[in-house]
């Protein structure tokens, strides 16, 4: 069995205590077999054998996904799917080349079910116009897979047709055996709320906002956005997803603003002024992510998000570092 096959086989069964050892094994593999990461480590003078703990690992700046072919063992496979980040025409879009599309989808479904229960107990609807228009969205691929696996009869995606969405919500609510989840990019949810107000169809469903105004509205902090959304969708907490093109795993906020991550997605914080000051105990700082599902790209990513960590391992996204792109489906400024 190859390293990759063994790693993927273990991934669904990892517990929190096993993650450091699994991450260090993957680091040693990618330090050799991921050419951009290998070159980055060499430029830093990092000897992989000297890396003995998670905080020793140099994290690859996320910008590499814009300019480099970030693949592990690129000589043995060609991408079967390409995910591109959202962005404007003035921004170069990050790309994540996917070796095994089903691995992404099954991994995302397993994480979702960890927090929300079986896909078959949900009807999934989505207002994600910018992602649909730009194409190659990992978020759209995920929601499409969820909807198909759920066996729902309603279509999942509604580009700008609010009337059709309201009709789908009415139909979905007639099935008492299912709950209804509405995925939405922030500006599209606000547009829906502005058009239909606190319509009955918008009550008693789970709203999962994916961040992002995409230049359509002014950026808001999370508290302001969720306050406005609750005026239309009711007093229940607004849920959120932390995910991005460069990751194959997701974290979820279940309505309290704190993201909870599965064991395979480990977050560490660093001093915003020092990219190599990574700590497992720092309460706030810039966010580094280990995504063990990224076996075919790079699992160790230095993001441009600012975050706060809590003792239970959950984290809150506070915003972006100065001068960094407002990006993806993670969070707002």
Over the range 134-156, which residues count as b (16 or more CB within 10 Å of their CB) and which as e? bebbbbbbbbbbbbebbebebeb
**Model pTM?**
0.93
Radius of gyration of the chain (CA): 20
Length of the chain measured in residues: 333
State which residues of the chain have pLDDT below 50: 89, 323-333
Q: Is the dihedral of CA 285, 92, 301, 329 positive or negative?
A: positive
Which tokens is 163 given? 């009337």
pLDDT at 330: 41
pLDDT at 13: 96
pLDDT at 88: 55
Q: Is the dihedral of CA 294, 300, 306, 311 positive or negative?
A: positive
> Torsion over CA of 57, 59, 64 and 66, rounded to 10 degrees?
140
pLDDT in tens, 15-51: 999 999 999 999 999 999 999 999 999 999 999 999 9
pLDDT at 326: 42
pLDDT at 331: 38
Instruction: Provide the 3-class DSSP secondary structure of residue 63.
Output: coil
């Amino acid at each position: 069995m190859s390293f990759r096959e063994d790693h993927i086989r273990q991934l669904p069964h990892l517990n929190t205590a096993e993650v450091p050892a699994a991450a260090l094994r993957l680091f040693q593999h990618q330090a050799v077999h991921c050419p951009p990461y290998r070159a980055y480590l060499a430029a830093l003078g990092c000897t992989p054998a000297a890396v003995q703990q998670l905080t020793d690992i140099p994290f690859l700046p996320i910008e590499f996904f814009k300019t480099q072919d970030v693949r592990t063992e690129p000589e043995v496979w060609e991408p079967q799917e390409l995910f591109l980040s959202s962005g404007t025409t003035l921004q170069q879009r990050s790309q994540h080349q996917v070796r095994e599309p089903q691995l992404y989808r099954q991994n995302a479904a397993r994480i979702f079910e960890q927090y929300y229960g079986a896909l078959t107990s949900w009807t999934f609807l989505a207002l994600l116009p910018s992602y649909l228009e730009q194409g190659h969205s990992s978020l759209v691929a995920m929601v499409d897979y969820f909807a198909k696996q759920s066996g729902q009869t309603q279509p999942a995606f509604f580009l700008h047709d609010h009337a059709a969405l309201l009709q789908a919500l009415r139909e979905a609510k007639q099935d008492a055996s299912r709950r209804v989840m509405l995925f939405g990019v922030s500006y599209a949810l606000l547009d829906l709320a502005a058009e239909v107000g606190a319509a009955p169809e918008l009550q008693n469903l789970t709203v999962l906002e994916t961040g992002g105004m995409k230049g359509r509205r002014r950026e808001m902090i999370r508290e302001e956005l969720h306050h406005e959304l609750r005026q239309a969708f009711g007093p229940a907490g607004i849920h959120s997803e932390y995910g991005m093109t460069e990751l194959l795993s997701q974290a979820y906020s279940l309505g309290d603003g704190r993201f909870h991550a599965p064991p395979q997605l480990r977050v560490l914080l660093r001093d915003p002024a020092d990219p190599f000051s990574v700590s497992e105990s720092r309460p706030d700082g810039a966010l580094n992510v280990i995504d063990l599902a990224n076996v075919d790209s790079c699992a160790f990513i230095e993001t441009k998000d600012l975050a706060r960590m809590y003792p239970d391992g959950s984290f809150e996204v506070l915003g972006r570092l100065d001068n960094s792109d407002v990006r993806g489906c993670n969070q707002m400024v």
